[in-house]
Amino acid sequence: MNFLVTGGAGFIGSAVCRHLCANPNYRVTNLDKLTYAGNLASLRPIENAHNYRFAHADICDEKAVLDILKRDDIDIVMNLAAESHVDRSIDGPGAFIETNIVGTYRMLNAALEYWRGLGEERKRRFRFHHVSTDEVFGDLPFDGSMFVEETPYAPSSPYSASKAASDHLVRAWHESYGLPVVLSNCSNNYGPYHFPEKLIPLIILNALDEKTLPVYGAGANVRDWLFVEDHARALELIATKGRPGESYNVGGNSERTNLAVVETICDLLDRRRPRTGGKSYRDLITFVPDRPGHDRRYAIDASKIARDLGWTPKENFDGGLARTVGWFLDNKWWWGPIREQRYAGERLGEARKAAP
């Protein structure tokens, strides 16, 4: 089975590549443009594996994608390449429209042309798996309700609107042209190799640097956290066993307020890397102006993927967060260069300097 993973140098894509390459019956091509969020160091554990190869390309380049599909005899496309940070999308939506919408359109065109040229057996086996987000469903109240696959789309940010648009295109290519697609909508991932502009790695590394720990608004917004390696297992199942035309919600069953997440990180670091003077990292918590359009709560009902594909998360939030904090303490070689050279650490997404 030959996989094309787009965005494989990113946080989730690299976890997917590492996971797939552990199976000697799979061959994996990682297609990535290497934007600020792409990092080949995240592929170090597999960079010399016999079943892994890297292709430096842009998903908006239809010809390059088609050439790679043909060259590597691809059976399954997993489309993860995207601009993924909500705050950046508020400051500058352009790249999100380009990669997330136009790029998905180009991927679909290339995949359709490739798929039409396959023999009957390979045509039946082929899948285009589009990896999306729970943010397309928008804002949930604090009433215990959850997103199911049928929840209507109601995106709030330029990021989630661009992902919603791409999901609609993928469905249309199935309905109109018969391309065998599957979709998945996942909640917040966390774990090793997480880019340090996102909440959990940002808080860990700011704390280690004795910097303030920025919590938007009152920290009452709720996210449903999923350990990235559990997501990678789910994505393999959806891509290989999911029913064409269907979507699957993937979640960690771990709802937490942002403030609770930040406090738990502080408590873990207090034990593992105590501050001098006996103070707690909690003293660094700083409440800052809220994200515009900040969705209050996300929560995933993942019963369909449990029932149809037999997937449930293996890691609970406390165990996964302890592993994540431990990984960042042990792997400065990975995040040190990012913090020094590519991540300025400024506050993004206040909509002050937006230039659509």
**Shortest Å, Cβ 10 to ligand NAD:** 2
Q: 194 is written with which tokens?
A: 């997480």
**Shortest Å, Cβ 324 to ligand NAD:** 13
For ligand DAU, which residue of 202, 208, 250, 268 counts as binding (CB under 6 A)?
202
Binding partner at 214 among ligand NAD, ligand DAU, none, C-beta below 5 to 8 Å by kind: ligand DAU
**Shortest Å, Cβ 125 to ligand NAD:** 24
For ligand DAU, which residue of 166, 258, 264, 324 counts as binding (CB under 6 A)?
258
Q: 283 is written with which tokens?
A: 């003293």
13 binds ligand NAD (CB under 6 A): yes
Q: Please identify which of the residues 58, 75, 134, 295 carries the catalytic annotation.
A: 134
250 binds ligand DAU (CB under 6 A): no
- Using CB under 6 A as the binding rule, the residues of this chain from 207 to 236 that contact ligand DAU are 214-216, 221, 223
137 binds ligand NAD (CB under 6 A): no
- Using CB under 6 A as the binding rule, the residues of this chain from 71 to 130 that contact ligand DAU are 84-86
**Under 8 Å CB-to-CB from 249, ≥6 apart: which residues?**
134, 147, 148, 149, 184, 185, 186, 300, 301, 302, 304, 305
User: Which residue number, 225 or 281, has a Cβ lying nearer to ligand NAD?
Assistant: 225
Q: Verify whether residue 134 is a known catalytic residue.
A: yes
Q: Verify whether residue 159 is a known catalytic residue.
A: yes
Site string for ligand NAD, 15-54 (x = CB under 6 A): -----------------xxxx-xx----------------
Binding partner at 60 among ligand DAU, ligand NAD, none, C-beta below 5 to 8 Å by kind: ligand NAD
9 binds ligand NAD (CB under 6 A): yes
Residue carrying the six token digits 């771990």: 254
Binding partner at 223 among ligand DAU, ligand NAD, none, C-beta below 5 to 8 Å by kind: ligand DAU
Q: Please identify which of the residues 83, 87, 135, 295 carries the catalytic annotation.
A: 135
Q: Please identify which of the residues 26, 159, 190, 193 carries the catalytic annotation.
A: 159
Site string for ligand NAD, 178-197 (x = CB under 6 A): --------x-xx-----x--
Q: How many CB atoms lie within 10 A of CB 137?
A: 25
- Using CB under 6 A as the binding rule, the residues of this chain from 56 to 75 that contact ligand NAD are 58-60
Cα-to-chain-centroid distance, residue 163:
12
**Site of interaction with ligand NAD (CB under 6 A):** 6-7, 9-13, 32-35, 37-38, 58-60, 80-82, 84, 99, 103, 131, 133, 163, 186, 188-189, 195
Catalytic residue set: 134-135, 159
